[in-house]
Amino acid sequence: NMVKLVLVFLALAGAALAIKWGSATASFQIEGAWLEDGKGMSIWDAFSHTPGKIVAGQPPGDVTDDFYHRYKEDVQLVKSLGHQTFRFSISWPRLMPSGRKDFINQKAVDFYRSLLNELIDNGIEPWVTLYHWDLPLALETEFGGWRHPNISLFFADYAEVCFEKFGDLVKHWITLNEPWCVAVLGHNTGEHAPGRGSHNLAQADDRVQQATEVYTVGHNLLLSHARAVQVYRTKFQAAQNGEIGITINPDFFYPLDPHDPRDKIAAERALTYAVGWWADPILFGDYPLEMRETAGSRMPTFTSEQRDLVRNSTDFLGINHYMSHLITHETDPTLAPGFYADRGGMLLEDPAWPKTDMGWSIVPSGIQDILEWIAARYGAVWPGMPIAITENGVAVNETADEAGLDDQARIAYLEGYLSHVLAAKANGVNIQAYFLWSVLDNYEWAFGMSKKFGLVRVEDGTLRRLPKASARWYTEWIKKQPQ
């Protein structure tokens, strides 16, 4: 009970700390320099060069924002906007072109150390993601990437190199960004690299294979996360004095009919599938019962050694949140076998909800509801669990002229969502940091440069940085918050 009391006390102290405000990015989406200075290829390099994978008229991800060459001026930009933190990811194939530690690219070490020093010298706190989807292509072609039973050993090696080379400058590490996307979009629907999907598989046994693979990949991602954390905790954390966590990406789900218990169960189930698939093994020691019962033998089991490895393998939980949905208990028969069919239910959008340029529903209360749902679900095992909102933001359809810089729709989105972030904090959710996605317009995966998430425009062709109205709004917002 004494331990519980101490935890509660620490939780209250943490809840009283001011939120740090900043912005987030990812290597493949901003760096460019896709084959420069010894970088190996990633699965996203290959995917974006495959005809038909990226929306028509968009280039592959070779140049994007050219951050690799412009990082010093971009750090000055971030500083001028008053951001206190900056989240970026390390490109695994830039650092280790084969994905393995047989060759470490010194030019990549120099680049990331220079970027880290630049941030720190300018009073900006770096948060570093180890994996934001750009798997070394060599690991995909030679081993089957995330499907390989020993991928977690490769990832632990990569993590160790990162801690060794950069850990003296980094106090906040994120192992994986949105493992749900890697598993479901990469290996169940095929919308993301490596593009393995069950939608268009005619053979029944192929469809079963994809419906199994999504969970195998999920399992390997969790083990990879946990092994990286184990390496950090056993070899680096005491000396480097940082923290390490994982980032998941749950939407919020509201029952279509709040008075129908079946719809309420469907909403709760969807939340469990979004959050519990990742956080339950870490905080409870196993996958959610709902997932085990439905997926049956397709759901991997943890050995006792794996369970111990994964259990409690996080110092904080990162949450990326963009949108919410309505859900009904009726099932959509067209759902692809695997994650969606297992989750069941049918998603609907309230016609009153405005939509982003991605077609995502804008529901500001959703961010508060997901934060409070997570805090409640895990409150008994970890009261006051530290949470970082590692992404939140909006794609706006903007014209390329002067008028397009007056992005009032983004300001309205942020006003709504940020007020609910503060409300969740006031209700006791221990929110430590908030990262707006993103500071720059960037390469939005299969949409290329066509979707604009930035506070700052990256001008087509010249790549000139032009701050939008929202950039100034967010600067003023940060100034008004408790420091």
The dihedral sign for the CA sequence 249, 390, 186, 223: negative
With vertex at residue 377, the alpha carbon angle to CA 327 and CA 189, rounded to the nearest 5 degrees, is 45
Q: At what angle do helices 365-378 and 408-426 cross, to 10 degrees?
A: 30
Predicted confidence at residue 245, as pLDDT, reads: 98
Predicted confidence at residue 78, as pLDDT, reads: 98
How far apart CA 341 and CA 294 sit, in angstroms, is 10
Give tens-digit pLDDT for 8-19: 666 666 556 899
Predicted confidence at residue 210, as pLDDT, reads: 86
Stretches in the chain below the pLDDT threshold 70: 2-16, 198-205
- How much of the chain is helix, strand and coil, in % rounded to 5? 50, 15, 35
Give tens-digit pLDDT for 153-177: 999 999 999 999 999 999 999 999 9
Q: What is the DSSP letter of 158?
A: H
Pairing mode of beta strands 324-328, 346-348: antiparallel
How far apart CA 91 and CA 254 sit, in angstroms, is 37
Predicted confidence at residue 15, as pLDDT, reads: 55
Work out the mean pLDDT of the chain and round it to a whole number: 95
Q: Tell me the whole-structure pTM to 2 decimals.
A: 0.96
Predicted confidence at residue 333, as pLDDT, reads: 84
At residue 193, φ and ψ (nearest 5 deg) are: -60, 140
- CA atoms within a 13 Å half-sphere pointing along the CA-CB vector of 446: 15
Q: Which residues are catalytic?
A: 178, 391
- Cβ(434)–Cβ(21) under 8 Å? yes
